[in-house]
Amino acid sequence: GENVEQHPSTLSVQEGDSAVIKCTYSDSASNYFPWYKQELGKRPQLIIDIRSNVGEKKDQRIAVTLNKTAKHFSLHITETQPEDSAVYFCAASNTGNQFYFGTGTSLTVIP
Amino acid sequence: GAVVSQHPSWVICKSGTSVKIECRSLDFQATTMFWYRQFPKQSLMLMATSNEGSKATYEQGVEKDKFLINHASLTLSTLTVTSAHPEDSSFYICSGRSTSGQETQYFGPGTRLLVL
């Protein structure tokens, strides 16, 4: 099955700086890569996703890049704000039939 | 749109009893529902995938007789933890994927289970 690795496990940045979280996957059949934000005790919320026919996608301060050849994808958050503090999970899926999550990154934005 | 609810949100039970958790898609029809387990400060572990009207597909290492999943309609899936033991204590989260064909899944708020 699919194996998704995520780094770093914890990340602290100063407010206004950028944060980058990286994930790798093993199954070349995976073609959908969502990113979720989970605040303590709450449900994961989809923040951005990318499909394998696209190399990059941006939504305001959030961007995701995908390198299919190397089987890795990254989340970029620019101009970080304290409310960005949360745990972020990447996931890989094959047409949405199964989702495999990374181990999570706890992001702390220091005011 | 795309709201998923879970019930109960909290449950405490004695060892040996069974607990049923309901997952409902409130404003969309979920062809597929997923059940996850999450330990404190850890990732979401996929337990099983269920399609409406058919048997659930369990991930390796997940006991199907222990975690009974029923997906009787396009808006309801249930997870029953049978003969619960303290090691089953965890946060259980369901998600639903729409019939529209998009891959996006929408998560429920989770159910925290504590087995004494």
The residue type found at B53 is G
Is residue B13 less than 8 Å (CB to CB) from chain A? no
Name the residue facing A101 among B41, B43, B106 (closest C-beta). B43
Is residue A103 less than 8 Å (CB to CB) from chain B? yes
Secondary element (H or E) of residue A94: none
Least confident of A21-25, A99-103, B103-107: B103-107
Higher pLDDT, A50 or B102: A50
- In degrees, rounded to 5, the angle at the alpha carbon of residue B4 between the alpha carbons of residues B30 and B44 is 95
For residue B8, the model assigns a pLDDT of 94
For residue A95, the model assigns a pLDDT of 73
Is residue B100 less than 8 Å (CB to CB) from chain A? no
The answer to whether A103 and A91 are in contact (CB under 8 A) is no
pLDDT single digits (tens) B74-113: 899 999 999 999 999 999 999 998 866 677 889 999 999 9
A-chain residues near B110 (CB < 8 A) = 42-43
pLDDT single digits (tens) B5-46: 999 999 999 999 999 999 999 998 888 999 999 988 888 999
Residue of chain A whose alpha carbon sits nearest to that of B93: A43
Tokens, residue A34:
């969502």
The residue type found at A14 is Q
B-chain residues near A103 (CB < 8 A) = 42-43
Q: How far apart are CA A73 and CA A90, in angstroms?
A: 9
Q: How far apart are CA B37 and CA B48, in angstroms?
A: 10
- CB under 8 Å to B54, separation ≥6 — which residues? B71
Residue contact B103–A32, C-beta within 8 A: yes
pLDDT category at A69 given cuts 50, 70, 90 is very high
- To test the contact with chain B by mutation, choose from A38, A49, A108 the residue with the greatest count of B C-beta atoms within 10 A, namely A38
Average pLDDT over every residue of A64-76: 96
Residue B29 has, within 13 A of its CA and on its CB side, a CA count of: 8
For the cut 70, the answer to whether the pLDDT of residue A101 exceeds it is yes
The answer to whether A33 and A66 are in contact (CB under 8 A) is yes
Q: How far apart are CA B115 and CA B86, in angstroms?
A: 5
Q: Print burial letters for B21-60: b (CB count within 10 Å at least 16), e (below 16).
A: bbbbbeebebbbbbbbbbeeeebbbbbbbbbbeeebbbbe
- Picking from A66, A86, A87, the residue whose alpha carbon sits closest to that of residue A75 is A66
For residue B101, the model assigns a pLDDT of 62
B-chain residues near A1 (CB < 8 A) = 59-60
Is residue A100 less than 8 Å (CB to CB) from chain B? yes
How many helical (H) and strand (E) elements, i.e. helices and strands, does chain B have? 0, 11
Q: How far apart are CA B94 and CA B19, in angstroms?
A: 15
Is residue A24 less than 8 Å (CB to CB) from chain B? no
pLDDT single digits (tens) B41-69: 888 999 999 988 888 999 999 999 999 99
